[in-house]
Chain A
Amino acid sequence: MPASPIISLGGVEKIYRTGRVEFPALRGVDLDVAPGELVAIVGPSGSGKSTVLNVISGIDRPTAGDVVVAGHDLLELDEEQLAAWRGEQVGIVFQFFQLLPTLTARENVMLPLDFASIGSVRERSDRASERLARVGLGDRLDHFPAELSGGEQQRVAIARALACDPPILVADEPTGNLDTDTADEMFAVLDTVNGDGTTVVYVTHDRRLADRAHRIVSIRDGRVVGDDRR
C-alpha cells in the first residue's frame, strides 16, 4: 500500500496579476509526492514549474485548488503561521543562492533556527557548523558570502535549507548558476540529503540533472503533461 503523500496538490490554479494584465501560471495542477521521493520538475521557461514550488512552500497562495503539505492544509494558515510552518517543514534553495550578505556562512545557517527559536544560541551555532560540515564547508564557517565561490554559496544555501531538519526540501534551479562540475557536486549533496530521508523536489532546465531523479514531472502552459516514475 503506497504511503500517504507528503505533498498533495489538487486542481491548483494560480493567476498572477500585474496592473491590468492577468497571467495564468497554473491551470489545474494535480500532483502527489510521497515521503522520501526525489522529484524533478521540468518544463520550458514560463511553463509554471517555479510556481508549483512556490505553492508547495506556501510562498504563493493558489487562486483555486487544494494544497496539503506535511499534513497541513496551507489555505487555512495565515501569513504568520505560514512563515513559522515553512521555517520548520520546508527548506528552500534558490537559484541565485540568496544568502544574506551581512551574515557569515554559519550565521546564514543559524538564521532559520533563530526564527524558529530552536535550542540555545550555542546549540544553534553547533548545529549550523554541523550542517556546513555535511556540505563540505566545515572550514568556511566565518566567511561572508562575498568571500565564497558560487558553488560554496549554493552549498551554504542548502545547509541553511536543512538547518531545521525539514521533511521537505524544494530547490528552484539549484544548479542554474553553476558550472557543470560544481552542478554535479551540488546534485550529489541533494542526493545524499534525499538518501537521509528528506523529500526533495527540484526544478531544473537541465535534462541531464533531471534524469537523476526518481520521478520527472513535466509541466507545460501551467498543466502537468507528463509524470515519469523510474
Chain B
Amino acid sequence: MISARAHHAIRQLTRRRGRSILTIITIAVAIAGVWMFAIPGNVRAVLADRVETDAMHTARLAPNAAPLDAGQLARLRAVDNVAALDTRTLARDDMRVEGRVEGVILVGVDDFDQQSVNIVSLGQGGFPEGSGQLVSDDSNATTGRLGAAVGDTIELRTHTGRWEAFEVAGRGGTVRYSSEVANDAPVLYLSSADVQRIMGYPAANSIDVLAEDPSPAAVDTMVTELRTVLTDELPDISYWDVLEVWRPGTWPGSEDIGNFVVVFYTIAAVALVAALVIIFTTMNTIVREQTREIGVMKAVGGTPRAIAVGYLSAALVLGTVGTAIGIGIGIPLSNRLMQFMSSEFGGTSVGWVISGLAVVLSLALGLGGTALASIPAVRHAAHITVRQAIEDHGVLASYGTRPLDRAAARFPLTSRRSQMGIRNATRRVGRTVATAVPIGLAVATLLGFAGVLLTVVEEDLRTFDLEGADLILWNRSPGLDARAGELINAVPEVAFAHPMTYSSVELDGEKYVWGLPAVSTYDNELIAGRWYSEEEDQAAARVVVVGEATANQNGIGVGDVITVETRGGPLGLEVVGIDGQLVNDGQGLFIPFSTVLDYEGRTTGNWWVRTVDRDPATVDAAATAIHETLESQGYQLESSRRYIDRDQNVRENRLIVTVVMAMGLPIVAIGMIGLVSATASNVLDRTREIGILRSIGARRRDLRVMFRAEGLVIGVLGWLMGIPAGYAMARLILYVFERRFDAAFRFQFPLWTIAIALAVTLVMTLVVMRFPLRRAVRLSPGSALRYE
C-alpha cells in the first residue's frame, strides 16, 4: 500500500503519459551514455588480460635470418631477465581465395604445441598437423577481411610464383598479430617450416622475447646482451626491422584507445548534464502545473514534507524506469562498441562484459541524479502557501512589467503571430533557458567535435602540402638509381625531382625518418639550429633534424647527440636543427638521404617529383611520360599521384568525422527530446489560450507560426549557448591531445561549422516540434476553453 499523496503524484505521471515517456527516454539515453564510461576501462582490462595470457613479447628483434640451433637458442634464453624466447618466421605474401588475390601476413610458428611467447590460441578446429595446414586469425572473419572457415582452402603464392593450397585447420590468434588484421592485412599462422619453404627464407626472422622485469632499463640491458649473444653466434647478422618494445600497460592499439577515451568521456558527461537539466525542467513543469492541486492538498492538511515525499516518489518512478531501460540499452550498446574497439584497435574479440562500476554509476546517477534534479521543484511544492497555490493561474500574470518583456515587445516583426511566439519565449525565462541548455549542449558537442576533427584533419592534409611532391616514384627491387633520376629530370613537365627514402628508428617508440637531400621539396620550418648541408649529405654525416614534438618529449636540443635504434643497431646522430612543422605529428626525424642509405644498407631510394604547375592534368602527363621513359629502359616503375592520395585521405577523414559526429547524436537526441517535452508542456499550459485564439479567428496555420516562432527562439538561444561551449570543448579536447602528443595544433573553428550548426538546429527544431504541435492545432476551441 502506498499513501494517497504518493498515489496522486505518481498518477500525474500517467495523466501526462507523453511527457513521462519522453522523460523516461531522456533518462534512459543518458544512462546508456554512462556505459560509455565503462568501455575504455573494460577494453583495457580485456586486452591487458589477453596480453598476459598470450604472453605477448616485451621485445622483438628482427634479424633477416636467424638460423639458430637448440644450443644457440638456449644461450639466448639464458640471458638475464629473459622469461621466455621463441623464434617466428614473418612474411608478407599473396593469397588466392575463390579467385581473388590479395596481400596476407604469414606468421610461422616453430612448434604449435610448444609456444611460450606470442602464444597462438585456438578458438575453433585444431593446430596444423604437418605441412599444408594453417590457422586463420579470428579477426580475419570479425573484420570481414577473410571469412575462412575450418576446412576451407586458401592458396598461397610461393617464391617461385606457383600457388600452393593450404587447408584451414583452425581459427585462433594472438594479440600482437591479430592487431595487424584491422590495420594491415589478414593474418595466417603456419608452421615456420612451411613459411620458410614457400617464401624461400633460410631461417626464422623474428626473435620474440618476454621479459621478467619489463621496466625500460631492464629491457634495454636485456636487449643489449641478446644482441651481443646473437653477434657472437651469427657474426653476419643483419636486421630487417627496428627493435619493437612494448612498455608495461601498452599493446598494439592502446594509444588509439587512449585517444578515443576523451571522446567517450566527453559524450557521456555531456549526455548526463543534458539529461539532468531535462529532468529538472520536467519535474518543475509537473509541480507548476499542479500548483492549485498542491494548494488543495495543503488546505486539507498536507504537510510540506508529505507533499515533497509524494513528488519525490514520482521523480523516482521516472528515474527507476529510465535507469532500467538505460541499463538495458547500455549493456548491449557498450558491448557492441567494446567489441568494435577491441577488434579494431587490439585485434581481439571480447566476450560480453557487464561492468559492475557502470551498474553502480547508472543507479547512482539515474536515481540520485533524478532526485537531485527534482529538488528545486519539490522545494517549491513544499514551500508554496495555500493562498498562492489556490490563486495560481498557471501563467505569468504580470507580463509586461519586466524590462525583458518591454524589449521583446519592441522586437521588429510584422507578423503578430511571430511576435507572440517570441514574447511567449520570454514569458517563462527559466523554462526557455532550461530547454535551450540541452540544445546548447548538443550544438556544443557537434561544434566541439567538428573543431577537433577539422583541426586534426587539417594537420593531416598539411603533411601532403609540406611534403611538396606531386608524384612519388619507386621501383620494384633494387630501386631508382642516378640514371633513372636523369631520365626523370629530363621530362618537360618535371620542375624539380630528388631522391628520398623512408626509414624508421626506435627512439622512445618508433619514429618515422625521411631521408632527404639538403635541398628538397619539403617545406621545413626550423625553430632552432639549421638544416643539414649538401656536404653533410654527400658525406653521409651522422646528423639529424628532429621534429618539435619528439624534441620536446625527449628533451632534445640543438648540439645534442642522440642514439637511435636502427634495424642495424644503435646509431649516434648529432642534432643540428629542430623542425616546427607538424609532419608525422611533429614526431619525425630528418636525416640526410645518403646517411639513411648507409645505415639501412641500401643503394637507391624513391624519387619525389614536383611538376611545373602542380595541376592534376600536368601531374598525370608527367606520370605517363616518366612511366613510358623509365619502363622503356627496363625499370619496373610504381608511382603514386599525391593529388589522388590527398583526395583519398580527405574521403577517409570525412568518414572518421562522420563516425565521431554520429557518436554525438545521443546528445542531440536528448536536446531534441527536451524541446519536444517543453513544447508539449507549453501546449498544455496554454491550452485555454489556444481556445481563445481559435475563438477569435486563429487558424491552424496561425497557431503553428506562433509556436514555431517560440521554438525557433529557444533553438537560436541553444545555438548561441552552444558556440562558446563548443569552442571550449574543442579547445579542451585538443589540449588533452596536445599533451598526449606533445604537439601544437593549428586550431580550426571555422564560421561555416557555426552556420551549419544553426541550420541543423533550426531544421531539427521545426521537425521535432511537429509532434506536440499536432495536439495544439487539432484541439477544438470548445475543449481547449474547458481545459483545466
Task: List A residues at the B interface (Cβ < 8 Å).
Answer: 54, 57-61, 79-80, 83-84, 86-88, 92, 94, 98, 100-104, 107, 110-112, 114-116, 121, 143-147, 160-161, 164
Contacts and interface: CB of A to CB of B under 8 A. Distances in A.
B401 A86 contact: no
A88 B414 CA distance: 21
Contacts of B44: none
A88 B688 CA distance: 21
Given A54-B782, A59-B782, A101 B395 contact: yes
A84 to B, nearest CB: 6
Interface in B695-712: 695-700, 702
B694 A94 contact: no
A107 B695 CA distance: 16
Contacts of A98: 688-689, 692
B699 A83 contact: yes
A88 B697 contact: yes
B400 A84 contact: no
Interface stretch (B166-174, B415-423, B615-623): B415-423
Contacts, number: 104
A72 B416 CA distance: 29
* Nearest 9 interchain pairs by C-beta: A87-B697, A144-B400, A102-B423, A60-B782, A115-B697, A101-B399, A114-B416, A59-B781, A112-B696
Nearest to B695: A92
7 contacts: A58-B781, A83-B699, A86-B697, A100-B692, A102-B405, A115-B696, A160-B696
Contact-residue size bin, chain B (C-beta under 8 Å from the other chain): 35 or more
B397 A79 contact: no
Interface string B679-701: 00000000011011111111110
B696 A101 contact: no
In terms of DSSP, what is the predominant structure of the interface of chain B?
helix
Contacts of B401: 144, 146-147
Contact of B397 (A57, A58, A94, A101): A101
Nearest to B401: A146
Interface of B: 395-401, 405, 408-409, 414-417, 419-420, 423-424, 426-427, 688-689, 691-700, 702, 780-782, 785
B544 to A, nearest CB: 72
Which of A57, A87, A114, A146 has the most chain B CB within a 10 Å cutoff?
A114
A121 B697 contact: no
B395 A83 contact: no
Nearest to A101: B399
Given A60-B782, A100-B420, A107-B416, A146 B699 contact: no
B414 A86 contact: no
A101 B700 contact: no
B780 A79 contact: yes
Nearest to B694: A83
B135 to A, nearest CB: 70
Given A57-B695, A59-B780, 14 more contacts: A58-B781, A59-B691, A80-B700, A83-B697, A84-B699, A87-B696, A103-B416, A110-B416, A111-B416, A114-B415, A121-B414, A144-B399, A145-B400, A147-B401
A115 B693 CA distance: 9
B239 to A, nearest CB: 80
Given A59-B781, A98-B688, A103-B423, A147 B696 contact: no
A137 B781 CA distance: 28
A191 B424 CA distance: 35
B782 A86 contact: no
Contact of A111 (B399, B400, B696, B780): B696
A144 B400 CA distance: 6
Nearest to B416: A114
Contact of B400 (A59, A60, A87, A143): A143
A120 to B, nearest CB: 10
Nearest to B421: A102
Given A59-B782, A115-B702, A102 B399 contact: yes
A152 B674 CA distance: 39
Contacts of A94: 692, 695
Contacts of B426: 102
Contact of A101 (B408, B427, B691, B697): B427
B405 A144 contact: yes
A211 B396 CA distance: 37
B288 to A, nearest CB: 16
A115 B782 contact: no
Contacts of B400: 101-102, 104, 143-147
Contacts of A57: 695
A4 B732 CA distance: 79
Nearest to A81: B699
Contacts of A60: 780, 782
